[in-house]
Amino acid sequence: MILNAWWERWAGLLEWEISELEKAGFLVKLDQNVKDDNKVIILYIQKTADRSLRELINKENIRLKIVFPGVYPYLKPIVFTEDDLPLIYHINPFY
């Protein structure tokens, strides 16, 4: 039995996720190559930091990579950054 990709099984869910990120002020780029290959979705998002966030991270822009697993929404997306952010929570030291 071959399952359809999650964005086909739950029509509109990917568009809703992207819409919510855009409402929060993020620029969103969908990696189409990954989407077609293995039922995983990767979104690259960027946002200009507001004043309080700039004071916390000492950066103008935040760039993140969100990986939606092939079995989303049963498993949560994972968020990565390639920037050197001084965060104290949710850090994966092995990435």
CA distance 15 to 43: 12
Nearest to 73 by CA among 1, 21, 13: 13
Give the pLDDT confidence score for residue 37 in this predicted structure.
Answer: 58
The model's pTM is 0.74
CB 61 within 8 A of CB 86: no
Structure tokens at 37: 């290959």
% residues pLDDT > 70 (the chain): 73
Task: Give the residue with greater pLDDT, 37 vs 34.
Answer: 34
Q: Distance of CA 3 to CAs 38, 67, 73, 78, Å?
A: 12, 19, 14, 22
With tokens 């993140």, the residue in question is: 64
